Amino acid sequence: MTTEILGVIATYGITLLLAWPLARYIVKVFRGDRTWSDFMSPVERLFFKISGIDPKEEMDWKQHMKALLTINLVWFVYAFFVLMFQDKLPLNPDGNPGQSADLAFNTAISFVVNCNLQHYAGETGVTYFTQLFVLAFLQFVSAATGIAALIVVFKAMKEKTTTKLGNFWDIFLKTITRILLPLSVVIGLIFIFNGMPASYAGKDTVITMQGDTVNVSRGPAAGFVAIKHLGTNGGGFFGANSAHPLENPNYVTWMTEMVAQVVIPIAMVFALGMFIQKRKFANVIFGIMTIGMLCLLIPSIQQEVAGNPRIAQMGIQQATGAMEGKEVRFGAAATGYWSTVTTIISTGSICGWHDSTMPLTGMMQLLGMMLNCFYGGCGVGILNYYIFIIIAVFISGLMVGRTPEFMGHKLEAREVKIAALITLLSPFLILAGTALSSWVVAHHPDMDWAMKPSAWLNNPSYHGFSEMLYEYTSSNANNGSGFEGLGDGNIFWNVTTGFVLILGRFLPIIGSVAIAGLMASKKYIPESAGTLRTDSLTFGAMTFAVIIILTALSYFPALALGPIAEYFSL
């Protein structure tokens, strides 16, 4: 067990060591400095020439959001129809069928919004063509969308007074060509050399050690898994995700996948301080995010290592921890680390079954997604944290009787209203969806649907409620993981979570960019003795308190009905 914990510490340490130079490189890319990746410039110019885009044309925040939403709509329509008719397209050696309209609707939205909530099994639900030219493609562009939106906010925070916030298409394309693509190649090569398949052949027939003959799915998984984690997407090439031995062959790939999914979110925090030349401010944000992460991680590992009390009451020793649903190659501690990190940064991948974790670990996973701002996904983690900063600045201003200011600009009613609406959005989507599904299960269990509501839950009582709460929480947080005891592959869950996916992704992005754009357009006010310092530990603690209090007020009743009640029932 000590070895497992040391492996967790080493993995996080390697992530930090890589995040700092990556942050410096990211800043150089978006500042327009010379970098080693300038050899991609001809490719970028070709894209702009073909599309008729002037990458030097400055945009305000509204133009940025118009471009972002328009191109995402195009990707959704493309993905929807290709998924429905994938059985008629090439690269389908296993003869997988096309998806139904409701499943294609959910899958297309899910990958467009960087959630990758999969209501299908990767081996049988999609083809090699759609894995590569729809899902892997969307994993690149959805990650680039989040980072591009964050760079707009960086530019707004850096300038004293401006409406010119760069060009969306230039930022977006450079995110792919200069950051995501080169890193994915390196990570993909590590995976290939460690046994992850990169083949276009169909299923292989093998004889197991027991003498059984089985068909084993394979395919071009290495490149897919690389961007799956680097872009904090999380969609598995195989149904079992990174618990599948071909999607995570050994401890080297485990560490690589863990580093890949955390390195960009942390690097973007460091890049914030470098880009706006306020490193102390970024260090405070990083400190608060890390404290938040540890508050979720330590109880999770402790719960998994301690084992299940029900099994202990039977007189059974659990020297390796609570191993139900765990990958024996990695163990309870490593699974606890993965499950925490993958939920706080919105990757949503798994190396063990979240549905089998202890009740309090499940609550930590839920809290990580409900908060959705401790490191967070590519770009959107800081955007979500930015909303809490605005609220903290506003409350601090009220407490000291001064007009709240942030980065030299007055914070007025319009910006606070946007922040308040975005803060209330997540609880509304999560709790309303959970209430609706609970009502259907309780009052219409035998409704004559393709899958009756009475068959949705594999677990009764508190855990069954948690399964439904988790599904909507994961959808709203663009996470994609699930308590997979839930029967979610039907029209009810495909449609309801689909709309939560859309609103939970784009409204917070629009809100954060709008606040930053509106603030940047105001007259700059130089700092004075009465200016609220946002780079102090006091302000960091204030922001942390705001995050915790708002989350506790919003979600405690639902958590009390689910994981907390389940914990006390043990």
* Beta-bridge mates of residue 136: none
342, pLDDT greater than 70: yes
The CA-to-CA distance between both ends of the chain, in Å, stands at 24
What DSSP character marks residue 86?
G
Whether the Cβ atoms of residue 99 and residue 468 lie closer than 8 Å to each other: no
**Dihedrals phi, psi of 355, to nearest 5 degrees:** -65, -20
pLDDT for residue 318: 86
For residue 10, is pLDDT > 70?
A: yes
What is the 3-class SS of 535-567, one letter each residue?
A: CCHHHHHHHHHHHHHHHHHHHHHHHHHHHHHHH
DSSP 411: -
* Band of pLDDT at residue 208, cut at 50, 70 and 90: confident
Q: How remote is the C-alpha of 17 from its chain's centroid? A: 22
Please check whether residue 224 is in contact with residue 136, taking contact to mean a CB–CB distance below 8 angstroms.
Answer: yes
Which segment of 121-135, 175-189, 315-329 scores lowest on mean pLDDT?
315-329
pLDDT band at 403 (very low <50, low <70, confident <90, very high): confident
pLDDT of res. 526: 85
Mean pLDDT confidence for 273-289: 95
Q: Which residue has the tokens 């998924």?
A: 83
Q: Confidence band (pLDDT; 50, 70, 90) for 125?
A: very high
**For residue 430, what pLDDT is reported?**
97
Separation CA 486–CA 410 (nearest Å): 47
Say which amino acid occupies 340: T
User: Which DSSP string corresponds to 129-163?
Assistant: HHIIIIIIHHHHHHHHHHHHHHHHHHHHHH-SS-S
Which residues neighbour 552 within 8 Å (Cβ) at sequence distance 6 or greater?
none
Cα 473 from Cα 371, distance rounded (Å): 10
User: Looking at residue 1, what is its pLDDT?
Assistant: 65
Average confidence score pLDDT of the chain: 93
pLDDT of residue 458: 87
Enter the tokens of residue 146. 């989040």
pTM of the model: 0.95
Cβ-proximal residues to 437 (8 Å cutoff; 6+ apart), any chain = 456, 468, 471, 472, 492, 493, 496
- Mean pLDDT score, 562-566: 95
At 459, the pLDDT band (50, 70, 90 cuts) reads confident
Report yes or no: 125 and 134 within 8 Å, Cβ to Cβ: no
* Tokens found for residue 214: 């089985």
pLDDT band, residue 321 (cuts 50/70/90)? confident
Amino acid occupying residue 216: V
Q: Pick the closest to residue 416 from 382, 393, 383 (CA basis).
A: 393
Which of the pair, 375 or 123, is modelled with greater confidence? 375
